Amino acid sequence: MITSVLVANRGEIACRIFRTCAELGIRTVAVHSDADADALHTRTADTAVRLPGAAPADTYLRGDLVVKAALAAGADAVHPGYGFLSENADFARAVTDAGLTWIGPPPRAIEAMASKTRAKELMGLAPLAAADVTEDDLPLLVKAAAGGGGRGMRIVRRLDELPDALDGARTEAASAFGDGEVFVEPYIEHGRHVEVQILADTHGTVRPLGTRDCSLQRRHQKVVEEAPAPGLPDALTEELYALAVRAARAVSYVGAGTVEFLVADGRAHFLEMNTRLQVEHPVTEAVFGIDLVAEQIRVAEGHPLPADPPAAHGHAVEGRLYAEDPARDWAPQTGTLHHLAVPAGVRLDTGYTDGDEIGVHYDPMLAKIVAHASTRAEAIRKLAGALERTALHGPVTNRDLLVRSLRHDEFTTARMDTGFYDRHLAELTGSAPDPLAPLAAALADAHGRSRFGGWRNVPAQPQTKRYELAGEEIEVSYRHTRHGLAADGVRVVHADAHTAVLEADGVRHRFEIARYGDQVYVNTTRLTALPRFPDPTAQLTPGSLLAPMPGTVVRIAEDLREGATVQAGQPLIWLEAMKMQHRITAPVTGTLSALHAKAGQQVEPGTLLAVVQETSS
């Protein structure tokens, strides 16, 4: 019997595993970097052990330190979660060599499947040799052999892009997984990403637990997932099950795992096997009414799977809530998460709580929100509505994108594929703020600030407030009257420091207002309060390139020097933040008049990196 589990991970997945352990009466041990000293997973566990440092390579990827932590804390088992060391066979061996129970597949199975190149060979497939590809092979996908989560992947549409794609993918893969091996395969443009959840015990049972569709992706990382995958013919579903079971049996698999495919033209193309729990496992749990983490623990204890497989009921959809700005090339965002609250009736898995800091060292996922209903249409409507009503005060997120994606005709009719955001990003990120939000914010701010000691029989002068909303400056005005606050064209039914009720064209609108410094949240609209008089010194040279996020300058374009001619859209500088690389490109065609960035430099948002002076026409 397992009595104490160390989770070799952080954030949302660590908290999710701790929840199941607590329900089973199992003690929990967290490990944490210095950056995570006060993180929710650290506070949630019964015991926590520090891993000195902040970078993953110095902390969560140090298997030797994690094993020492487990022994020091008296744990008798280790659960790897997903990412980090979850698909590291040497770490699994180190755990068992230390006399601990490994809650995962045998090391030899991890070894066989963790490398995507070896997995393909095992399934009778072979990746392309980068040196031998031709124009006829395009488009191509450069892909990291280890790890997952969309890191270390590049699409190549022209042969001259291949060397740079290989270098970039190797660098990113080495940073994220400690392994810079990459390979090349054909890129299927309009396929659906479909996967099969499997569960296997030590007694020879391998059980497929339905399909999932994960086609809505950005940067090859999933954003919306659902179970079961909609619209698949029965024959294709059975083929996917058979291939998944075949892959598992080929390596004598034990525990929970996922076999991933691209489905195109009615055919299944094997991608890889993930020898771990997937981020999107909650949709399968919802449909089958099971706890996959509990099943992993029971399998690790040697128990057989139940004789009767669980029955599927209804449909489940999950949205990943990221601290990122989809309209700015998915740039990750940092700062304080002041408040996060979702409506009742949906599942929330998160590694954050009110007041936590979203830092630069790790993935920007804030939470997963899951809705389950009797039909797909009902589950989609339920999730979209819950996201729309979620109170979310903090950095910019992809929440509005998720809501619009779920309501997009291509998704609701199950016609989506992995190119969904390539086609629709502009329409899904267009600004649609509530036009009454600035006035509601101004009235809440003005509550109790009357300039009069009492009402006077003279006309009140209008008061004005300025806000930035969706990149635009907006000015609103209101007046103090003997009946309270008033505004032209709108009836102020009620206003206090946190609430405003406004009536426009006979329709009442209720607003909840929260303010943190100059950031104001009015229902789901985010505003920035501007000073009454703009700072005349706040001017930037045209063509200035500013760091869009905190991070590290990992690369500067080869031979880039001041005075060089650059083309609009040309990559100049690469920043690494939250385990991903982000390109800073030339905004216009012109001359690089200043270059301030240096390789290895740590930068904050707004740091001046370079200046490009536009060529006069």
Query: Is residue 205 within a helix (H) or strand (E), and if so which, with residue range?
Result: none
Mean pLDDT of 269-274: 91
Residue 464 has a pLDDT of 92
570 by Cβ neighbours in 10 Å (0-12 / 13-18 / 19+) ranks as middle
**327: its two tokens:** 């309209």
pLDDT of residue 480: 87
pLDDT of the residue at 453? 41
Q: What is the DSSP string of 292-354?
A: HHHHHHHHHTTPPPPSSPPPP-SEEEEEEEESEEGGGTTEE--EEE-EEE--TTSEEEES--T
Q: What is the pLDDT of residues 349-364, one digit of tens each?
A: 999 999 999 988 898 9
User: Is residue 459's pLDDT more than 90?
Assistant: no
Active site residue 118: no
Q: Per-residue confidence at 169, pLDDT binned at 50, 70, 90?
A: confident
Least confident of 133-137, 340-344, 499-503, 567-571: 133-137
Lowest mean pLDDT among 243-247, 374-378, 528-532, 548-552: 548-552
Lowest mean pLDDT among 26-30, 276-280, 492-496, 605-609: 605-609
pLDDT at 428 over 80: yes
pLDDT more than 70, % of the chain: 95
Domains of the chain from N-terminus onward: 4-103 (3.40.50.20), 114-186 (3.30.1490.20), 192-428 (3.30.470.20), 437-530 (3.30.700.40), 544-614 (2.40.50.100)
The answer to whether residue 239 scores a pLDDT higher than 50 is yes
In 3D space, the residue among 429, 360, 392, 383 whose CA is nearest the CA of residue 575 turns out to be 360
Residue 445: per-residue pLDDT: 92
Compute the average pLDDT of residues 122-145: 78
Burial of 426 (0-12, 13-18, 19+ CB in 10 A): exposed
Would you place residue 254 in the very low, low, confident or very high pLDDT band (cuts 50, 70, 90)?
very high
- CA gap 451, 26 in Å, rounded: 61
Q: What is the pLDDT of residue 471?
A: 79
Q: Look at 614 and 70; give whichever has higher pLDDT.
A: 70
Asked if pLDDT for residue 119 goes beyond 90, the answer is no
* pLDDT exceeds 80 at position 278: yes
Q: For residue 454, what pLDDT band results from cuts at 50, 70 and 90?
A: very low
Vertex 391 angle, CA 385 and 395, to 5°: 115
pLDDT of residue 450: 52
Give the integer Cα–Cα distance in Å for 110 and 126. 19
Beta bridge partner(s), residue 592: 612
Q: Which two tokens stand for residue 8?
A: 């070799």
Task: Output the six-digit token pair for 109.
Answer: 């199975």
All residues at 6 or more sequence positions from 143 whose CB lies less than 8 Å from its CB, including other chains: 116, 152, 153, 169, 182, 183, 184, 185
- For 99, other C-beta atoms within 10 Å of its C-beta total 9
Confidence band (pLDDT; 50, 70, 90) for 580?
A: confident
Q: Is the dihedral of CA 196, 202, 205, 209 positive or negative?
A: negative
What residue type is assigned to position 365 of the chain? M
Q: Which of 19-23, 30-34, 170-174, 273-277 has the lowest mean pLDDT?
A: 170-174
In the structure, what pLDDT confidence band is assigned to residue 63 with cuts at 50, 70 and 90? very high
* Residue-level pLDDT at 533: 63
pLDDT band at 440 (very low <50, low <70, confident <90, very high): very high
Q: Per-residue pLDDT averaged across 514-543, rounded?
A: 82
* Residue of 151, 276, 298, 466 marked catalytic: 276
322-339 mean pLDDT:
94
Average pLDDT over residues 525-553: 79
CB atoms within 10 A of CB 311: 8
pLDDT exceeds cutoff 90 at 176:
no
Cβ burial 543-567 (10 Å sphere, 16+ → b, else e): bbbebbbbbbbbbbbeebeeeeebe
Mean pLDDT, residues 399-425: 97
Of the chain, the percentage scoring pLDDT greater than 90 comes to 71
Question: From CA 424, how far away is CA 404, in angstroms rounded?
Answer: 10
**Alpha carbon distance 78, 101 (integer Å):** 6
Mean pLDDT computed over 161-172: 86
